[in-house]
Amino acid sequence: MHNRNPSFTDHVFSLSGVSGGSLGAAVFLALLAEQRASQRPGQQPFDLKEKAQAILSEDFLSPVLASMLFPDLAQRFLPFSVPAFDRAVTLEQAWEEAWRRNVTGRNRMSEPFDRLWKDQDRWMPTLLLNATWVETGKRIITSNIRVAAGRRREDFVDVEDANAFFAPRSLPLSTAAHMSARFTYVSPAGTLVKDGKTHGRVVDGGYFENSGATASLAILQIINELARKDKRWEKVDPYVIHISNEPVDAKYVNDSLRTAPDNPNIRPKNLLNEALSPLWTFLNTRDARGYYARESVAWAVGHSNYLHFGLCRRSANVPLGWVLSQSTRDRMEDQLRELKCQQPGAEPIFDNPGNLTKIDARFAR
């Protein structure tokens, strides 16, 4: 989208990410800042998409597993903690090293989070990195904007503001992204420490909801509230672009009770039903909250202004994991350019090329 329309990011208000999506959003914005800096006299410009693919195609799992099997494991037998042994630190350093190998100049992944928005002569999109607070189940959002204003008046309902909590210190961008992307068991729960006291622990934002759409919905609600007070806000025409990476099987997209017996994704299970039903419910409500948030956002902006990009499960499936082969990346590119995911005679679940055409037409005006 950015490469096809150079002014695209001038019109993007915010990026809301969860889990691996937070890493992608952080890398994108850091590269955007670096690309703009490279356009100044004496600097060498670069292709943002190529740089993003180079950084994110690196192997981040091997360093973490190596750390897990030796230095991090050693901590289980020590009466005190050694921060350098933490496998979470290893993962963040791997991200920073991937940036250093692929991008010349400043290592923005290791710089303070807030620095992304400094010294910018053009609009820079807001970043919302969604994590989950272990002790309460509430969201913790790291952002360059204020997301919590006290108990009596909160625009973002029932959240903790990580940037405000750590102020005046700012987390490195790699750490801020990792707070939201604490991959289960691969990354340990993060410890929130300030002034020598442990205030809580943080895990992946997907435990609360796995789309990041809840934060975007809050922004849309704020715009509506402002429009009621100031007519100038009625001129704002909001669009929501939702990018999901879980392959969808068009045959089983209908998850109603009526179709449940024939849908292997939601067919009632008979094995150890009484014992396992609480666990299944716990796991499935996470996905349900994400779907509810996405549908709420789509309803808030209207069907024509909600653009959903996704992956369709086909005979040549798109496996997703820590390391993607070149053939997998090529299939994902093909789906972006050519795929309309739908069953014959049914409404499309998402229309990737059609959405790109809509965006192009919007910026061609």
Any idea which of 26-30, 270-274, 319-323 has the lowest mean pLDDT?
A: 319-323
Alpha carbon distance 124, 111 (integer Å): 17
Q: Predicted confidence band at 150 (pLDDT cuts at 50, 70, 90)?
A: low
* Nearest CA-CA partner of 60 in 25, 29, 31, 101: 101
pLDDT at residue 154 in the model: 59
Q: What's the one-letter identity of residue 240?
A: V
pLDDT at residue 272 in the model: 82
Alpha carbon 133 to its chain's center: 17
Cβ atoms within 10 Å of 313's Cβ, excluding its own: 15
State the Cα angle at 337 between 331 and 342, rounded to 5°: 85
Q: Predicted confidence band at 44 (pLDDT cuts at 50, 70, 90)?
A: low
Only one residue has tokens 């019109």, namely: 11
Q: What's the one-letter identity of residue 199?
A: H
pLDDT at 152 over 60: no
Q: Predicted confidence band at 151 (pLDDT cuts at 50, 70, 90)?
A: low
pLDDT at residue 22 in the model: 95
Q: What is the pLDDT of residues 157-204, one digit of tens each?
A: 889 999 999 999 999 999 999 999 998 888 899 999 999 999 999 999
Q: What is the pLDDT of residues 47-88, one digit of tens each?
A: 999 999 999 999 998 889 888 888 888 877 887 778 778 899
Q: What is the pLDDT of residues 123-134, one digit of tens each?
A: 999 999 999 999
pLDDT at residue 176 in the model: 96
Q: What is the pLDDT of residues 100-117, one digit of tens each?
A: 999 988 999 999 999 999
Judge if the upstream peptide bond of residue 278 is cis by omega within 30 degrees of 0.
no
Cβ atoms within 10 Å of 238's Cβ, excluding its own: 16
pLDDT at residue 287 in the model: 82
